[in-house]
Amino acid sequence: MKIPPVKGTRDFYPPDMARRNWIIDGWKRVSVRNGFEEYDGPIFEYLKMFQIKSGDEIVEQLFSLTDRGGRELALRPEITPTLARMVNQQINSLPRPIKWFSVPRLFRAERPQKGRLREFFQWNIDIIGVDDVLADAETIFCALDYLQEVGLTPNDIVVKISSREMLAALLQSIGIAEGELEDLYVVLDKRSRLPGDTFEQMLAEKVPDENKRKKILGLMAVESIEQISDCLELNETARESVDELKRLFGLLEVMGVADFCMFDISTVRGLAYYTGIVYEIYDRGGELRAIGGGGRYDNLLRQFGGPAIPATGFGIGDSVLAILLEEKGLLEKQLPSRKLDYFVVCVDEVYRETAVKLTMKLRSAGFAANFSYKAAKLSKQLKQASEQNAGRCVIIGSEIENDQLIVKNMATGKQELIKLDKFFAELKS
Ligand code: HAM
């Protein structure tokens, strides 16, 4: 019986691994040029860590286990709680601001669907210790820096931005109690993914008062920051957060990425810990699930037993991103192909040791080299060399008895008979 991979997981054959590495290498390169340092944590943590402040949705999707010592553990569904834990542990010695990135392997027991898996990779960028909206703008720039580098334009993707602080103030002015906000966010976050009547039904369960519900729906229909004050009278907190949003858009303009960004009041985010600016990145066509999302979470470190330190960041998964890049024809053509510097051809078993020795010498000198395991026909070995994308073939035949070998340039097809010592001398230069 052939055993398939577990539902929602992926096998990475070499071509898949090449894609994965290309995506992750890009994330890392862009993180570093934006001034971030890499960190990582364990793949499993205490279960309770993810129950503190991530919200019910993610808790329901946990892969949990009990270890032999009876400890309740869970595979990490995200890395933000680990980040909060790690930063709190060394809070007094870490120079601030903390600008860290990570590319964790994550696990969520979601219903597998296009772009949503049970095991995936996620690029995380976080800035801890800066309460200025400049830090939020910088994280958005960083995401777009990468997405532009791989060839996506404002015609392909959009960053939908809002503020939970503003939404909280507006909802409270409608009469929603502070304690009811978190549950309401969960419903509002689902709005774009649900049919209208299903959404309204869910909303009615959370907000039985029809008058309040109408006001919420009116608010959700607002299309610009300016329209908010036409819809509701703003209290001081709401006004301050509207100003903050305006400043964010001004900064995104200065950073040259405003064309990618729009205000969208229905962007709320599914996780419970966000406190201020929130954003999600989507394909313009709106066909796919979110490419990424993030925002400000100023209370999380304190909720994890540390001091009150502001924080902001995002996560972008590898799965929707790869689907979008593939659909746009941007993936395959950018992948570096497998390359060998040399392929060593041995025309007769009597030269086997020489061929092996020469291959190992090439490798020790820093060249990528392979050899044929059998002294098969020359044409067959040359075919193998071109399948492995070798730049040159070294052919070891009877000429070796005169200390000579043939070097074939695979691109031009040109062959050259060359003395062994000259070959090695040229390698060094
Ligand atoms: P999130 O919105 O849960 O945020 O996930 C961010 C991104 O991870 C999603 O937009 C998606 O690309 C990817 N993702 C999430 N779940 C799956 C899945 N089941 N399969 C494939 N991809 C998935 C967070 O995780 C926050 N911790 C991000 C953050 C960092 N906020 C601040 N700092």
Tokens 């777009």, located at residue: 144
Taking residues 5-24, what's their average pLDDT? 97
**Predicted confidence band at 293 (pLDDT cuts at 50, 70, 90)?**
very high
Contact 292, 281 (CB under 8 A): yes
Contact 27, 125 (CB under 8 A): no
Please tell me the residue having the least CA distance from ligand 1 atom 16: 116
Contacts of 94 (CB under 8 A, 6+ apart): 87
Question: Residues in the chain, how many?
Answer: 429
Ligand 1 geometric centre to CA of 55 (Å): 13
- Residue by residue, DSSP assigns 361-407 as HHHHTT--EEE-SS---HHHHHHHHHHTTEEEEEEESGGGGGTEEEE
Ligand 1 geometric centre to CA of 43 (Å): 16
Ligand 1 geometric centre to CA of 315 (Å): 5
Whether the bond between 208 and the residue before it is cis, its omega within 30 degrees of 0, is no
pTM for the model stands at: 0.94
- What is the per-residue pLDDT for 358? 96
pLDDT digits (tens, 9 = 90+) for 374-429: 999 999 999 999 999 999 999 999 999 999 999 999 999 999 999 999 999 998 87
Tokens 């990490």, located at residue: 76
**Predicted confidence band at 299 (pLDDT cuts at 50, 70, 90)?**
very high
Q: What is the DSSP letter of 37?
A: E
Mean pLDDT across the chain, nearest whole number?
Answer: 95
**Hey, what's the torsion of the CAs at 147, 151, 156, 161, to 10 degrees?**
20
pLDDT at residue 231 greater than cutoff 80: no
Ligand 1 geometric centre to CA of 184 (Å): 20
Domains and CATH numbers, the chain: 14-41+79-333 (3.30.930.10), 340-428 (3.40.50.800)
Please tell me the residue having the least CA distance from ligand 1 atom 24: 315
pLDDT above 90 covers a percentage of the chain that reads 88
- Is residue 203 classed as helix, strand or coil in its secondary structure? helix
Q: For 264, phi and psi rounded to 5 degrees?
A: -150, 105
Q: How far apart are CA 343 and CA 376, in angstroms?
A: 14
According to DSSP, the residues that pair with 312 across neighbouring strands are 127, 296
- What is the per-residue pLDDT for 84? 97
According to DSSP, the residues that pair with 127 across neighbouring strands are 99, 312
Contact 79, 106 (CB under 8 A): yes
How many other C-beta atoms lie within 10 A of the C-beta of residue 403? 11
Query: Which ligand 1 atom sits closest to the C-alpha of 271?
Result: 3
Query: Which ligand 1 atom sits closest to the C-alpha of 124?
Result: 30
- Given ligand 1 and candidates 60, 61, 78, which is best to mutate, with the most ligand atoms within 8 Å of its CB? 78
- Is residue 217 classed as helix, strand or coil in its secondary structure? helix
Taking residues 288-305, what's their average pLDDT? 96
Least-confidence region, from 34-48, 180-194, 402-416: 180-194
Widest Cα–Cα separation across the chain: 97
